[in-house]
Amino acid sequence: MSRKTMKGLLFFLLVLAVIFASTSCQKLKVSNLRANYYFSRANNLFTDGKYRLAIEEYEKALESNPNLSEAYQFLGESYKNLYKPAVETPENIETGQNALDALLTAYEIAPDNKDIINSLGDMYDKMQNFEDAEKMYLKILDLEPTNMGNYYVVAGFYKRYAATSGDDEEEKTAEGPTPFQKAEEMYLRRIELDPQNPQGYAYVAQFYDQITPIPEFDKAVFYHRLQTQLEPDNAVTYYAIGVNRFFKAYRLQNQLSRADRITLGREGEEALTKAIEIDPSYPEPYAYMNILYRNIWANVYPERKDSYIAEADRWGEQFQETRRRAAERKRLEDELTKTEIE
């Protein structure tokens, strides 16, 4: 074959390659356009809560573009919204598995996508698969160790399991940290990472205040008081201290001495008074002053019960009046906002 003929053949093959490549790219573009079309339709249906119809459109999108991780993600979200935790019917079990399969595929395509990881953790959580859910939530911390919000997500996850597992103190050393201890660790790590942020102290205090059946009253108030050092003019924090001291005195009245209840009552009244001084328009402290006088002082000082009940009534009246003023103020603000919009 002559050199001229060889050049001609090579040129012909190059032209064919370009034609085939152009055709493949065109098909790919058309396929992607079709996938985006169905994906957009599916998203609208998902937003409207029409999850079964959305599933059909997401599947059509994936037929055109099998690598569209967002379509797998929202396909999984659609199934997840149809899934009913703890319902053991064949249809519901299949729905849960479909959700999990779609989310796992999305995760394989985009293993560092926080939204997909979080959604997958939530699905494992709904299916009561603690270990795999935990892995997903901890992976979020690995990806974004300085994002403070992630610690609350993980702490909330552990907190839910702590509420149902009944954390047994005697089992802790044998089996490692319990969900309760892990939740506690997340809240405290959040404070360590940003010790000047009062929100961290508020969350851990709330965590201890909400422990059932008996809150960790003293641990909670310790962090409430640390918060007041950062926010000395926050009436809500002083109110929280007052409520904490009241409930410890009231709920543990059969276990505490009279002297202890008096001390708690004084601490509670002092905190509530401070909240009122900071914000006299804040209704809730007045309500708890009423409750404190009625349920603590009237009981520890029975000889002065009538005067304490009368004082409680006055606090109750102030609460009603303050709440009425707050409601009227809110009504006027809403009317003003509505007028500005119109």
313-330 per-position pLDDT tens digit:
999 999 999 999 999 988
Residue 167, pLDDT score: 52
Residue 341, pLDDT score: 65
**What is the percentage of the chain residues whose pLDDT exceeds 90?**
69
Residue 130, pLDDT score: 92
- The first and second tokens of residue 155, run together, are 């702490």
- Other residues' Cβ atoms within 10 Å of the Cβ of residue 98: 18
Residue 69, pLDDT score: 83
Place of tokens 């008074």: 273
Residue 30, pLDDT score: 59
pLDDT classification of 164: cutoffs 50, 70, 90: low
- Options 3.40.640.10, 1.25.40.10, 3.40.366.10, 3.40.50.11890; which CATH number does 25-144 get? 1.25.40.10
Tell me the average pLDDT across 68-81: 92
- CA quadruple 117, 120, 125, 131: dihedral positive or negative? negative
pLDDT classification of 170: cutoffs 50, 70, 90: very low
Tell me the average pLDDT across 7-27: 38
Residue 340, pLDDT score: 63
CB 154 within 8 A of CB 142: no
Lowest mean pLDDT among 27-41, 107-121, 209-223: 27-41
Q: Where are the domains of the chain?
A: 25-144
DSSP 64-79: H-TT-HHHHHHHHHHH
Residue 44 CA to residue 50 CA, distance in Å, equals 9
Residue 290 CA to residue 316 CA, distance in Å, equals 5
Residue 329, pLDDT score: 86
Place of tokens 């050092």: 229
